[in-house]
Amino acid sequence: MNYYQRHVGDITRDTFGLAPAEFGCYDRMLDYYYQTEKPLPLDVSEIHRIVGARGTSDRKAVAYVLGRYFTREADGWHQKRCDAELAEYASKAVIARANGRLGGRPKNPEKTDRVISGIPTGNPDLTQPKANQEPVTSNQEPEEKKSTRVPREVASLPPWLPPEDWARWAQHRGKKLTAAAVPLQIRKLDGLRAEGHDPVALIDLAIESGWATFWPPKDAPRGRHASLTAVGSRTAENLRRFADDEEMPNGTHGP
């Protein structure tokens, strides 16, 4: 990761009171974290080399910063904000690869939603500030981004949902698939999956039928957008129920 957003307001607030040596150690730790896309090593002597701490005072600064901002875990020293930013960065890469397999990004971004599957597209023209724009602080955000910003809890797709198939569904829905609708539709798809339905098959059926949400074949709605497969399945089911419930005068069952 060669670039990460530096939220000046957040850093100033969170590092208030640090001595210059302590702030320098913290700054280098963040650079290492984002550049390698992994936590700081468990061996503190390695961290000393990373930040250039050679004297006793510098090493005390490293120890203080680790204790205040980082958490020791099995694979290294973790920082919550860094982990969240890296997770979002990885989710953008997944969607970018899915877009590539589908032929690339749409030619006219103004005619398509700026969020695919509830995840920012990662297009620098859409997500990176221009040179003549006002800087964005932690308490200020462009109105345009407020409408497409996605809660962090839906920033990545569940493991059972292939990104390329969800990208097809997002392109099918276009701008009508809002950020608020994304978790609801994933939840509905997950519920149908728990009933034994294949999520990819449900996506294919919904796209083919022109639906705005997911339906299993037996519950498919009638009308202009109902597929022949869905209607045929429900008709057969109705006939079976009629045969079970109705008895003909001659003792036979059926219509």
Q: Domain boundaries in the chain?
A: 8-78, 84-214
pLDDT top residue among 76 and 157: 76
> Is 22 within 8 Å of 57 (Cβ atoms)?
no
Q: Which residues pair with 115 in a beta bridge?
A: 120
* Mean pLDDT, residues 73-92 taken together: 86
**Bridge partners (DSSP) listed for residue 72:** 77
pLDDT at 46: 96
Mean pLDDT of 59-67: 96
pLDDT at 218: 74
Top-confidence range, 33-37, 46-50, 84-88, 220-224: 46-50
Percent of the chain residues topping a pLDDT of 90: 27
Q: Are 228 and 215 in contact (CB under 8 A)?
A: no
The yes-or-no verdict on residue 228 having pLDDT over 50 is no
Cα separation values, 36 from 29, 32, 75, 83, 93, Å = 11, 6, 14, 12, 16
Q: What is the pLDDT of residue 255?
A: 45
Is 220 in contact with 226 (CB distance < 8 Å)?
A: yes
Q: Work out the percent of the chain whose per-residue pLDDT is above 70.
A: 61
pLDDT in tens, 162-175: 888 888 988 888 88
Report phi then psi at 5, rounded to 5.
Answer: -75, 130
Residues β-bridged to residue 78 = 71
pLDDT value of position 144: 46
pLDDT at 248: 46
Q: What is the pLDDT of residues 175-218, one digit of tens each?
A: 888 888 888 889 899 899 998 899 999 999 999 888 999 988 87
Task: Compare 160 and 238 and report the one with higher pLDDT.
Answer: 160
Pick 199 or 133 by higher pLDDT: 199
Q: How far apart are CA 123 and CA 125, in angstroms?
A: 5
Output Rg (C-alpha) for the chain, integer angstroms.
Answer: 26
Chain-wide mean pLDDT for the chain?
Answer: 74
What per-residue confidence (pLDDT) applies to 238?
54
Would you say residue 39 has pLDDT above 60?
yes
Q: Helix %, strand %, coil % for the chain, to 5?
A: 55, 5, 40
**15 vs 72: which has the higher pLDDT:** 72
Do residues 47 and 40 touch, judged by C-beta distance below 8 A? yes
CA distance 177 to 172: 9
